[in-house]
Chain A
Amino acid sequence: MIDVPVLDVRGATKVYGSGETEVHALRGVSLTVERGDYVAIMGASGSGKSTLMNIIGCLDVPSGGTYLLDGVHVGDLDERRLAILRNRRIGFVFQSFNLIPRMSARANVELPLAYGGVKGGERKRRALAALREVGLADRGGHEPNELSGGQQQRVAIARALVTSPTLLLADEPTGALDSKSTADVLGIFDRLARQGRTIVVITHEDEVAAHAKRVVRLVDGRIVEDRRQAPVGVA
Chain B
Amino acid sequence: MSPLEVLRFALRGLTANKLRSGLTTLGILIGVAAVILLIAYGNGSSEAIKKSIQRLGADSLTVSTSTTSSSGGARTQARDLTVKDAEALAKSPSIKSASPVVSGQSSTATYAGTSSTIDRFVGSTPDYFAAASKTIAAGSAFAETDGNVVVIGSTVASDLFAGTDPLGKKINVGGINFTVVGVLKASGSTSGGFNDPDSVAVAPLTAVQASVTGYGALDQIVIQAKSSEQVDAAQAEAESILQQRHGTTDFTVASQASAQSAVADSNKTFTVLLGAVAAISLVVGGIGITNIMLVTVTERTREIGIRKAIGAPRGAILGQFVAEATILSLIGGLLGVAVGVAGSLFTIAGVKPVLVPSSIALSLGVSVVIGLFFGGYPANRAARLRPIEALRHE
Residues on A facing B (Cβ under 8 Å): 54, 57, 59-60, 79-80, 83-88, 92, 94, 98-103, 111-112, 114-117, 159, 163
Contact = CB atoms under 8 A, between A and B. Distances in A.
A109 to B, nearest CB: 10
A111 to B, nearest CB: 6
A54 B303 contact: no
B388 A54 contact: yes
21 contacts: A57-B309, A59-B387, A59-B388, A59-B391, A79-B314, A80-B314, A83-B313, A83-B314, A87-B310, A87-B311, A92-B310, A98-B305, A101-B303, A102-B16, A111-B310, A112-B310, A114-B1, A114-B5, A115-B1, A115-B310, A117-B2
Q: Which 9 A-B pairs have the closest CB atoms?
A: A87-B311, A86-B311, A112-B310, A83-B313, A98-B306, A59-B388, A115-B312, A115-B311, A59-B387
B120 interface: no
B50 interface: no
A213 B12 CA distance: 42
A123 B215 CA distance: 100
Contacts of A99: 306
Given A83-B308, A98-B306, A100-B307, A115 B313 contact: yes
Nearest to B312: A115
Nearest to B308: A83
Given A60-B388, A116-B311, 19 more contacts: A54-B388, A59-B309, A80-B313, A84-B313, A85-B311, A86-B308, A88-B311, A92-B309, A99-B306, A100-B306, A102-B12, A111-B307, A111-B310, A114-B5, A115-B310, A115-B311, A115-B313, A159-B310, A163-B311
A145 to B, nearest CB: 12
Contacts of A85: 311
Interface in B1-41: 1-2, 5, 12, 16
A117 B12 CA distance: 19
Interface string B339-364: 00000000000000000000000000
B307 A115 contact: yes
A100 B303 contact: yes
B310 A86 contact: yes
A163 B311 CA distance: 11
Interface residues of B, number: 21
Interface string B357-394: 00000000000000000000000000000011001000
Contacts of A60: 388
Contacts of B308: 83, 86
A94 B391 contact: yes
A98 B316 CA distance: 19
Contacts of A94: 391
Nearest to B16: A102
A92 B305 CA distance: 12
A117 B312 CA distance: 10
Contacts of B305: 98
Contacts of B312: 83, 87, 115
Contacts of A59: 309, 387-388, 391
B25 to A, nearest CB: 20
Contact of A86 (B12, B302, B309): B309
Contacts of A79: 314
Nearest to B305: A98
B1 A117 contact: yes
A111 B307 CA distance: 8
A57 B310 CA distance: 10
Most chain A C-beta atoms within 10 Å of own C-beta, residue among B307, B310, B312, B388: B310
Contacts of B387: 59
A60 B309 CA distance: 11
Contacts of A114: 1, 5
B62 to A, nearest CB: 73
A98 B302 contact: yes
Contacts of B307: 100, 111, 115
A223 B303 CA distance: 33
A58 to B, nearest CB: 9
Nearest to B313: A83
Contacts of B309: 57, 59, 86, 92, 98
A182 to B, nearest CB: 22
A191 to B, nearest CB: 22
B388 A83 contact: no
B93 to A, nearest CB: 80
A38 B387 CA distance: 25
A89 to B, nearest CB: 9
Nearest to B388: A59
B378 to A, nearest CB: 19
A112 B309 CA distance: 9
B391 A98 contact: yes
Contacts of B316: 115
A59 B310 CA distance: 10
A73 to B, nearest CB: 19
A204 B387 CA distance: 23
A88 B312 CA distance: 11
A101 B12 CA distance: 11
A141 B203 CA distance: 89
